[in-house]
Amino acid sequence: TQLLEQSPQFLSIQEGENLTVYCNSSSVFSSLQWYRQEPGEGPVLLVTVVTGGEVKKLKRLTFQFGDARKDSSLHITAAQPGDTGLYLCAGANTGGFKTIFGAGTRLFVKA
Amino acid sequence: DTGVSQDPRHKITKRGQNVTFRCDPISEHNRLYWYRQTLGQGPEFLTYFQNEAQLEKSRLLSDRFSAERPKGSFSTLEIQRTEQGDSAMYLCASSVRDSYGYTFGSGTRLTVV
């Protein structure tokens, strides 16, 4: 059974701080996605990474896919209160169906 | 493109009742997925359709659960004889074939009392 473990589970920081959240697995994935979810809403796709070692940037967010395609990280620079939410990583195999999700990292950014 | 729509947004039902949820995917997306999410957890895969064919079902999907996607458009998820353990957010998502990223709806929050 493929599992994705996210750490930390919860993170509370001050506005302006930097942070990194991690997503780890013992399994290899064809791709990995990061989503953000707000209370009472569905997850919203932030990025998909496909190639081992790939780095993608989305404004203040930097996503990295591990060389072995088993892990990923999300780094946020100068966090803002609007970054508050649940960050989910999700892994998919070839074909993209039956994506599995980690339990998420709940981020709270205080003004 | 109006996104993925789910109806209702909230449902409270008594234990033992049947409930049905509807999902309207993005029109050009041929894949549709159902996930369930409980508090403090990530979404768990339930089933997926490619066009009208249901291609995979999770072991989580007991015989009380059934999903359909007639004509490859909207989908319904029915839960018969609901139990308190069925209380969760039921999420629908859609994608084009071979796309890794999904577009999720806002979900249906089910509470079984």
Find which of A54, A99, A105, A106 to mutate to test the B interface (most B CBs within 10 Å of its CB). A99
* Structure confidence at residue B72 (pLDDT): 86
Q: Residues 6 or more apart from A86 whose CB is under 8 A from it?
A: A36, A37, A38, A104, A105, A106, A107
* Structure confidence at residue B2 (pLDDT): 76
Task: Pick the closest to residue A35 from A111, A105, A109 (CA basis).
Answer: A105
Smallest Cβ–Cβ distance between B43 and the set A31, A41, A43 belongs to: A43
Bridge partner list, A76: A19, A61
* Structure confidence at residue A93 (pLDDT): 81
CB contact under 8 A, B93 and A33: no
Smallest Cβ–Cβ distance between B48 and the set A31, A90, A98 belongs to: A98
Percent of all residues in chain A with a pLDDT value above 90, rounded to a whole number: 88
Residue B38 has pLDDT above 70, yes or no: yes
Strand B10-13, strand A105-110: pairing: unpaired
Residue A95 has pLDDT above 90, yes or no: no
In chain B, what residues touch A100 (CB-CB under 8 Å)?
A: 45
**Residue pLDDT, tens place only, B39-50:** 989 999 999 999
The 8-class DSSP code of residue A22 comes to: E
The number of residues in chain A equals 111
* Structure confidence at residue B60 (pLDDT): 79
Q: Residues 6 or more apart from B59 whose CB is under 8 A from it?
A: none
> Hey, is A38 helix, strand or coil?
coil
- In A, minimum Cα distance to B10 occurs at A40
In chain B, what residues touch A41 (CB-CB under 8 Å)?
A: 106-107
Task: Pick the closest to residue A63 from A102, A100, A35 (CA basis).
Answer: A35
Smallest Cβ–Cβ distance between B105 and the set A42, A90, A102 belongs to: A42
- Model confidence at A96, in pLDDT bands (50, 70, 90)? low
What mean pLDDT is predicted for residues B53-58? Answer: 90
CA distance A34 to A90: 6
CA distance A58 to B53: 36
* Structure confidence at residue B49 (pLDDT): 94
Task: Pick the closest to residue B97 from B57, B53, B62, B66 (CA basis).
Answer: B53
In chain A, what residues touch B53 (CB-CB under 8 Å)?
A: none
Task: Pick the closest to residue A100 from B64, B52, B37, B21 (CA basis).
Answer: B37
Residue B61 has pLDDT above 90, yes or no: no
* Structure confidence at residue A1 (pLDDT): 67
Smallest Cβ–Cβ distance between B98 and the set A35, A43, A95 belongs to: A95
CA distance B74 to A92: 24
Is residue B107 within 8 A of residue B89, CB to CB? The reply is: yes
The answer for A 34-53 residues in CB contact with B (under 8 A) is: 35, 40-45, 48, 50
CB contact under 8 A, A99 and B56: no
Residue A99 has pLDDT above 70, yes or no: yes
Q: CA distances (Å), B66 to each of A24, B13, B17, B94, B98, in order?
A: 33, 18, 15, 18, 25
